Amino acid sequence: MNEISTGLYKELLDRMSDGVYFVDRDRRILYWNEGATRLTGYEPEEIVGLYCQDNTLCHVDSAGNQLCLAGCPLSECLEDGTAHDAEVFLRHKQGRRVPVNVRVQPIRSDDGSIIGAVEIFRDNTAQIEVRRKAEAMERLAFLDPLTQLPNRRFLEMSLRTALIQYQAPGDPFGVLVCDLNGFKTINDRFGHPSGDRALKEVAKTLSAALRSADIVGRWGGDEFLAIAYNVTFEVLGELAERCLALVENASYRNGDDALEGLSISIGCAMVKPGDDIDSLVTRADRRMYAKKKDGWNARAELAGRQECG
């Protein structure tokens, strides 16, 4: 009866698509099913009798740490007697890395003492790919594909959050609305690829000009919007001046591969009680268009209560 039971259990385990193997207290491999062979390329006779610490499968985590030598789920299971789950990468016999989900459980004798452990593992490639696609879609939903900056949707979410924080503890913030001067002329004269290059250069320059905690993104067309946190009127004006100066020292390549200069107009506004997104951005937008009328290179008077308040 025991032989029939043993044979039946082995057949059932070998029919599993998951890899299964047993170890004793010393982490010596006692059993290796066909699923484990399919996932790793190793036949039972190549594995049974070896120890986990021999590092044949070279399990590593996402950071590249070798789990067979330290942090092994099997070892932890044998020590604390509880089940452990992990996402690891094993090394296939042919050398490639295979992502697997691992589930380890203790094996106990009749008296309850731990005499070994069983590990069940399955290929995690499909799940990782699904996760990567989901993360990519999530990034694309908030990313402008041309400039690789946050898009308007993300900026509006960030503005809503900033307004809520302003209403609670009163954290001050301001916005900068930036418009690329002569964008239509660039497209008409040199073509849309040149216009795209100009936008990319402005995007990179604005990102470098602002502080690490600030957010800058593409609001739409040739317009960018930045959110500057924990600023005064004066600091917001200084940030605007810095953006103007750095963009004026930037350039892009036209259709003839010659360098062309760039300039932007900027309007700024500090948040006020009762503001919503529209009122705040409209105030900064109005000031930006006023600057355009004064001339593209008008640089002064961006700081101060009158201009940024």
Domain boundary among 125, 149, 174: 125
Print pLDDT tens along the chain (309 aa).
Answer: 344 455 667 778 888 889 999 999 999 999 999 999 999 999 999 999 999 888 888 888 887 888 877 788 999 999 999 999 999 999 999 988 889 999 999 999 999 999 999 999 999 888 888 778 777 777 789 999 999 999 999 999 999 999 998 987 778 999 999 999 999 999 999 999 999 999 999 999 999 999 989 999 999 999 999 999 999 999 999 999 999 999 999 999 988 889 999 999 999 999 999 999 999 999 999 999 887 776 654 443 443 333 566
**Active site residue ranges:** 222
Does a structural domain hold residue 158? yes
**Residues 291 and 153 placed together within one structural domain of the fold:** yes
> Domain range spanning residue 44?
2-125
Of 94, 86, 81, 107, which is closest to residue 21 (Cα–Cα)?
Answer: 107
Q: What is the pLDDT of residue 295?
A: 62
Residues 10 and 79 in one domain: yes
Same domain, 196 and 90: no
Count how many domains the chain has.
2
In a domain, 229, yes or no: yes
Does 169 share its domain with 71? no
Residues 150 and 81 both lie in one domain: no
**Is residue 20 in some structural domain?**
yes
Distances (CA, A) of 77 to 48, 199, 295: 20, 56, 72
Confidence (pLDDT) at 302: 41
Residues 256, 223: one domain?
A: yes
Q: How far is CA 170 from the centre of its chain?
A: 30
Tell me the two tokens of residue 105: 């459980």
Domain shared by 189 and 171, yes or no: yes
pTM of this prediction exceeds 0.85 = no
Q: The CATH number of the domain where 29 resides is what?
A: 3.30.450.20
Q: Tokens 């990319």 appear where?
A: 200
The answer on 151 and 60 residing in a single domain is: no
Does some domain include residue 130? no
Q: Are residues 110 and 191 in the same domain?
A: no
